[in-house]
Amino acid sequence: MYYEEQMSIGKWKLFDSSVTIQGFQCKVARKRYHGRNYTAYYAPSIPLQDGPLKFCGLPGLIVLVNDDLNEVKISLTSFRKNLSEVRFFQSTNPKPTDRKKMFDLVIQDYLNPFKTDEELFNIRFKEETKIEMLRKRQVSLKQVNNRLEKE
């Protein structure tokens, strides 16, 4: 499944302040996006208007972005030139949906990760196995899953 969303997620407000992050002289920009206030630190010396996930559009590579509640923090860990061709995998038959339905499905999968296997592939799990697998999966998802969008 997929849904389309514009990569330009609102206008950044640029500030004159600067800070050094991982050896790069960075400028500061801020914006609000789906219920969170974000601060981005970008390096004008790297002329790529890109950054992590949905963050882009600044006059330099975004090397750090975080929200004002410290719930989201994404930082550059390494930087190198890639001289080889980059290929991305895409399903041959993706099904279109909308943003709300996609996030509803993510929540459903969190609550019952066995539903797809059981309904589509006719795989059955023992109840005691399901309970333990569900517990482990939910603990794992809580550690790494913090949506950018609060609204």
CA dist 20 → 8, 27, 124 (Å): 26, 9, 54
Instruction: Please give the model's pTM, rounded to 2 decimal places.
Output: 0.65
Residue 52 and residue 76: Cα distance in Å, rounded? 8
Whether the pLDDT of residue 66 is over 90: the answer is yes
pLDDT tier, 63 (very low <50, low <70, confident <90, very high otherwise): very high
The predicted model gives 127-147 an average pLDDT of 76
Contact (Cβ atoms closer than 8 angstroms) between residue 65 and residue 30: no
Beta strands in 34-124 (DSSP E): 36-43, 61-67, 73-75
Report helix, strand or coil for 137: helix
**Domain locations in the chain as residue ranges:** 13-75, 99-142
Whether the pLDDT of residue 138 is over 80: the answer is no
Q: What is the pLDDT of residue 151?
A: 61
